[in-house]
């Protein structure tokens, strides 16, 4: 199933399906993801707008997503929360933004839903629109080293692929150098399952 069709189908149920993970796991990570950022920020793969409560006060956030149905949910959330932000239907692989126009870029599980052949183009594009002294922050899943947890996640993987078009084994880090970026930091935020990557453009 094409991603556009998948997200058109799931958009209305997305927040409900994700609810246990959102409140049991993700919200502290989102707070950490946005901590210390300021200025003009790109929220790449904004989805239904789950990051909005954590947008830094006084920042100018632009959220993009390729799914109009997910953006419609994000607009409802923006109105409900009163969060100032701009929402645009746009492909993260080809944004159309000018070079170096964002102080920071944030991608929350975006790379989990990008296929292997999309990883490098997406990283390259996000690096292009980020200022040389800015940074790109990415939240990403990985398979854990613990065999029991790994087994459980492998059981979940077909459902995650069917519902979200996502995978746990993208290994975005392997494309960082080829995209002209530098890995400045890697921190595990949930065991060895969810990691925060901080990337820097090579100025």
pLDDT one-digit tens code per residue, 68-96:
999 999 999 999 999 999 999 999 999 99
Which residue segments constitute the domains of the chain, with CATH numbers given? 3-201 (3.40.50.150)
Q: What is the pTM of this model?
A: 0.95
Distance CA 165, CA 174 (A): 21
- Sheet strand arrangement including 130-141: 85-89, 60-65, 40-44, 102-108, 130-141, 194-201, 181-190
Query: Could you say which DSSP state residue 52 is in?
Result: G
Q: What is the pLDDT of residues 96-151, one digit of tens each?
A: 999 999 999 999 999 999 999 999 999 999 999 999 999 999 999 999 999 999 99
Determine contact, residues 71/46, Cβ cutoff 8 Å. yes
Residue 9's pLDDT is 84
Neighbouring C-beta atoms of residue 85, cutoff 10 Å? 21
Neighbouring C-beta atoms of residue 67, cutoff 10 Å? 23
What is the per-residue DSSP string for 143-164? --SSHHHHHHHHHHHHHHHHHH
Residue 25's pLDDT is 93
Residue, of 2 and 119, whose pLDDT is higher: 119
Residue 202's pLDDT is 82
Distance CA 174, CA 179 (A): 10
Q: Which residues pair with 201 in a beta bridge?
A: 181
- Between strands 194-201 and 181-190, the pairing is antiparallel
State the greatest distance between any 2 C-alpha atoms of the chain, in Å, as a whole number: 46
């Amino acid at each position: 199933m094409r991603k556009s069709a998948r997200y058109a189908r799931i958009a209305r149920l997305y927040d409900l399906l994700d609810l246990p993970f959102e409140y049991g796991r993700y919200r502290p990570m989102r707070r950490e993801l946005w901590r210390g950022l300021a200025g003009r920020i790109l929220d790449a793969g904004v989805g239904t707008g789950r990051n909005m409560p954590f947008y830094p006060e006084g920042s100018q956030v632009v959220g993009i997503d390729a799914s109009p149905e997910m953006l419609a949910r994000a607009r409802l959330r923006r109105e409900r929360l009163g969060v100032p932000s701009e929402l645009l239907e746009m492909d993260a692989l080809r944004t159309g933004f000018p070079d170096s126009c964002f102080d920071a870029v944030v991608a929350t599980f975006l790379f989990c839903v990008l296929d292997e052949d999309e990883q490098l183009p997406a990283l390259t594009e996000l690096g292009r629109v980020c200022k040389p002294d800015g940074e790109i922050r990415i939240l990403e899943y990985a398979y854990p080293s613990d065999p029991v947890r790994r087994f459980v996640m492998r059981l979940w993987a077909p459902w995650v692929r069917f519902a979200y078009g996502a995978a746990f084994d993208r290994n975005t880090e392997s494309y960082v150098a080829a995209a002209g970026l530098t890995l400045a930091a890697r921190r595990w935020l949930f065991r060895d399952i969810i990691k925060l990557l901080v990337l820097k453009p090579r100025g």
